[in-house]
Amino acid sequence: AFFIYLSLYLSTYLFFSSSLSFSRYAIYFIAMVDAATKKTLAAIPLLKTKAGPRDKEEWPQRLKEEVTSLIKYIQNNKEADNDWLRIQSNKDGTRWFGKCWYVQDYKKYEFELEFDIPVTYPMTAPEIAIPSLDGKTAKMYRGGKICLTEHFKPLWSRNAPKFGVAHALALGLGPWVAVEIPDLIKRGIVVHKDDKSEDS
């Protein structure tokens, strides 16, 4: 059975300035890959099996490697005490869903997330979506799919099929949340649930 319930931890991405523009985000992304992120990525086990959902015989082995990589990523980041995400998959490991959150001024902002494993995975990275933020930021495609920098896809392509779900979360969702959520809070687009209650 490949039903997975995992906690993922982020060690470096949740401390970016909320004033970063998208261009600065792209520049910072490059710097991260060249510096601190290398250390983070080096600690995440690379995957060996080149198999996607259509590869019925090898896909179970790929899922085992995904789980191993994710668990190791969790263990490596527990010391940082940066619990920011809960995620689980369906039985076949083809659809993932859960919650991510961002803490600012002692307030926890939670968001539902979801993504499907592409049929061309692992050569194609999953498109992670936060549906509740659909239409609230330019850094997002229709349906709430987060818009990654132009540097993410080439990085994924160079490392496929060795990169997996843990890498997509660390290099994709993590930096996006760290940059976009503070900005949305600052502009009043994202409001904490307790503040909504006070206004009602």
For residues 166 and 189, give the distance between their C-alpha atoms in angstroms, rounded to a whole number. Answer: 29
Reported for 107-110, long-range contacts at CB under 8 A and 24+ positions apart, including other chains, are 107/192, 107/194, 108/192, 109/181, 109/185, 109/190, 109/192
Residue 131 CB contacts under 8 Å (≥ 6 apart), including other chains: 112, 114, 143, 144
Active-site residues, by number, are 147
For residues 83 and 145, give the distance between their C-alpha atoms in angstroms, rounded to a whole number. Answer: 22
